[in-house]
Amino acid sequence: MSTDRASSSDRRTRSWIEVRADALRRNFRRVRAGAGAGVGVIPMAKADAYGMGVDRMVSTLEPEQPLAWGVAAVEEGRRIRELGVERPVLVFAPLPPGSYRDAVEADLTVCLSSLEGLRLLDEAVARSGKSACFHVEIDTGMGRSGFDWREAASWGPVIATRHRPALRWTGCFTHFHSAADDPATMTVQWERLVDVLSSVAHPKEDFLVHAQNSAGAMRAGALEARGYRVGAVRPGIFLYGGSAGAGTPDPEPVAAVRARVVHIREASPGTTLGYGATYASRGRERWGTLAIGYGDGLPRALGNRGHALIGGHLVPIIGRVSMDMTVVNLSDIVGVEAGDVATLIGESGSDRITVDEVAGQVGTISYEILTGFTPRLPRIWVDDGS
């Protein structure tokens, strides 16, 4: 079998993630087209751009003119600023008490979930001598953060009185809890948000209302049909090649996880394999050891369950996945040699294994698979320029 050999200086010597910048760009454009004219796009770059590498992700999408960037931590927002980004960077998760000053210093837009957070932000602004912007999260059913939509009469007036040139209230948002599984819930949550906005005094100019994650963004028509329009959508997993839910368009695959075959052996009948000896050869078999394991983020639960692609052929993973090695059964294909490339996620020949398929095999979601790959796997970005 032909082999894509790697030199000692090549980052593809062992195992790696190949990230397609062109596919990321096209997924972004599909979200923007689906959102409609006048609706901004806030790409989520949290968790190191879902494990793909935030530096290259930002350099790929910044020329596409996103409305803003979304992160979960001040440190993530600061990194985007260090990359030279000047447009707004929203920190969506509630901040630890000691992080407000850092957020103000980095010119990050803080998303508030409590009056205590507002007090700490106000204090940080006063101490720094700088101005700041904030958005208010409305909890319409997600439950993990945000102001309770049913209690707007108590917190709304307090927030309104804090709005001033040095501390500007520039947006309001909610988060859909079941857009991927039960789209009808989007309408319920959106109506709760509208109720809050109609009852609370808030700025009328330069005020952004947003709600839709990937699943919501790819179903924007469901809200538009009821006359609802948002100012921005916040895509995450769809950008990186993960499904936004049943009934939504498939994204282009962005990440491919590949590993070298580093050892081949002929196994006689009854030969056991791996920790716990959970697999034994049923006859004479040919096994290939791949240089990847759960220490790289490959789910251990793929043992005796998952597959890899080698030369366009699907081969089963046998035995338990180890920290550094995974074994596949090569008995049904010929010509595989040490140094050949196996694909655990991505395309090989005319076949592919999607990140959602892998997630389904181990009972989790594509988000966890992508963000779970460790720094030991080099992220190698490729771009065809489209």
Please list the active-site residues. Answer: 46, 275
CA end-to-end span of the chain: 31
- Cβ contacts of 153 within 8 Å, gap of 6 or more: 199
CA 27 to chain centre: 13
Q: Are the C-beta atoms of 284 and 266 separated by less than 8 Å?
A: yes
DSSP letters along 317-352, please? EES---SS-EEEE-TT-----TT-EEEEEEEETTEE
The H or E element spanning position 147 is strand 147-148
Vertex 221: Cα angle to 219 and 226 (nearest 5): 125
Q: Taking each helix axis from N to C terminus, what angle separates 152-162 and 115-128, rounded to the nearest 10 degrees?
A: 10
Question: Is residue 220 within 8 Å of residue 228, measured between CB atoms?
Answer: no
Structural tokens at position 184? 């009808």
Q: Contact, 319 vs 273, CB < 8 A?
A: yes
CA dihedral 125, 127, 128, 129 (to 10 degrees): 80
